[in-house]
Amino acid sequence: MVGKGNRFSFTKRAVEALPVPTKGRATYYDERTPGLCVRVTTGGAKTFSVFRRVNGRPTRVTIGKFPETTVEQARDHAARYAAAAVDGLNPNDAKREQREAPTLQDLFDVWLAHAKRHKKTWAEDERKWQTYFAKLKTKRLADVTTADVTRWHASLGENHGNYLANRALALLSAMYGQSHRLMGYDGRNPCVGVTKFKESSRERFLQPDELRPFFEALQAEPPQWRDFWLLCLFTGARRGNVAAMAWADLDLTRGLWFLPGQVTKNGAAMVAILPPPAVAILETRKDGARGRWVFAAPTSTGHIIDPRKSWLRVTKTAGIENLRPHDLRRSLGSWQAIQGASMQVIGAALGHKDPKATAVYARLTVDPVRQSVTQAVEAMQAAAKGGSHAQG
């Protein structure tokens, strides 16, 4: 029952029975808890608040709506706020800090700006973020728990595979690892303690009976994508390097592609072999070329970036399952091995950085590597036409 001056002892039944005002808001005070009140709007909403003086200034803190917030919970909150006010602490300041606390999206924005200057694979990280982090990106850094990350990681593994889930986890952990330096965040890394999935070594490459449908499917693609995938296969280069292939780095006369260290994965400059079919493709593209890039496109980089739609079309048309773009790189190395090339020659052709083989690589000239790559490409083309693909 409401007492004199809109003041009474709050109970669930009494708050439920409060009348709805015809205009404005009606405010009622609890007799048991100083400063605790409930405000009723013309729409019937009832909200608990507490009024206190903090450092001599009147302050109102919203506690929560009734009945989601019970009378007992409202009294507990009011008591804590009163204790804080005695110490000169304004609960609204804490709430404001909580609202302004950085989210994972805030961290990624800062992290990406840094990565663009220092990390070659920032575009792939950005794609992962946009595709796989929807459940976490709006959370505040301090609110993400190890349990949250564990559930998210498990879901990625189930829906997208162990490899992708582990790469996404590594990205999130790297972001938290940089958070103090980039944003001054001092909280813990919630990725610590999350167990990565076991990954088996992938051995997939284009098989002899897959080459004909693969080449035929490429012929149905726009020339830009057809040439792109063929050069990925014929050079064994990573698709990011092929996408960013620059005319200035090519010597078509000698059939060489010079990749500077800042664009290679291991940071070491390398020379890739351009076998005759690759040179023929590039000669054709050069006839109408304009600008710096072999695969120019209206993107932020000036060249093609995301080949996924084309890859899905090609593999679907060819009827080939479980084949990834990176498997084209593995295909060249595998077909070199079929033709009898040594591991050192294959490693040199693909730009592998193996400390144990560095001395061997240093002694290799271009000629045996060129011969090996050319033989592998010719063997794949022969297999696609139904000819012999046996070891040479």
Q: pLDDT tens digit string along 198-255?
A: 876 567 888 888 999 999 999 999 999 999 999 999 999 999 999 999 999 999 999 9
| For residue 276, cis peptide bond before it (omega within 30 degrees of 0) | no
Pick the most confident of 48-52, 94-98, 169-173: 169-173
Is residue 268 left, alpha or beta, with left meaning phi > 0 and alpha meaning psi from -120 to 50? beta
Q: Which residues pair with 36 in a beta bridge?
A: 50
Predicted pLDDT of residue 155: 94
- The percentage of residues in the chain with a pLDDT greater than 90, rounded to a whole number, is 47
* Cα 314 to Cα 224: distance, rounded to the nearest angstrom: 13
Question: Strands 256-259 and 270-273, how do they pair?
Answer: antiparallel
Reported confidence tier of residue 161, pLDDT bands at 50, 70, 90: confident
Contacts of residue 65, defined as CB under 8 A and 6 or more positions apart, other chains included, come to: 45, 46, 47, 48
Longest dimension (CA), the chain: 103
* Cα 365 to Cα 368: distance, rounded to the nearest angstrom: 7
Inter-residue contact 75 to 33 (CB < 8 Å): yes
* Cα 344 to Cα 364: distance, rounded to the nearest angstrom: 9
Q: pLDDT tens digit string along 173-202?
A: 999 999 888 888 888 999 999 999 887 656
